Structure 1
Amino acid sequence: MMMLNMWLMVFIMFMFGNMIFVSKHKHLLIVLMSLEFIVLSIFFSLVLYLSMINYSMYMLMVFLVFSVCEGALGLSILVSMIRTHGNDYFQSFNLI
Structure 2
Amino acid sequence: MMNMWLLIMMMFIFGNMIFISKHKHLLIVLLSLEFIVLSLFFLLVVYLSCIEYDMYMLMIFLLFSVCEGALGLSILVSMIRTHGNDYFQSFSML
What one-letter code is carried by the residue in structure 2 that aligns with 1:67? S
Distance 1:34 1:17 in 2: 5
Distance 2:28 2:76 in 1: 11
What's 1:8 paired with?
Answer: 6
Distance 2:84 2:19 in 1: 22
Question: Paired residue for 2:43, among 24, 42, 45?
Answer: 45
Please list every run of 5 or more consecutive structure 1 residues that lacks an aligned counterpart in the other structure: none
Q: Secondary structure at the match of 2:93?
A: coil
What's 1:79 paired with?
Answer: 77
Question: Paired residue for 1:67, among 65, 68, 72?
Answer: 65
Q: Secondary structure at the match of 1:48?
A: helix
Offset from partner CA, 1:50-93 (integer Å, 9 cap, x none): 00000000100000000000000000000000000000000001
Distance 2:93 2:14 in 1: 29
* Map 1:16-27 → 2, pairs under 5 A: 16-27=14-25
Distance 1:73 1:95 in 2: 22
Q: Secondary structure at the match of 1:54?
A: coil
How many Å apart are 1:43 and its aligned residue? 0.2
Distance 1:42 1:59 in 2: 12
Q: Secondary structure at the match of 2:52?
A: coil
Distance 1:61 1:31 in 2: 24
Question: % of aligned pairs identical?
Answer: 80
Structure 1 residue runs of 4 or more that deviate by more than 6 Å after TM superposition: none
Distance 1:95 1:69 in 2: 27
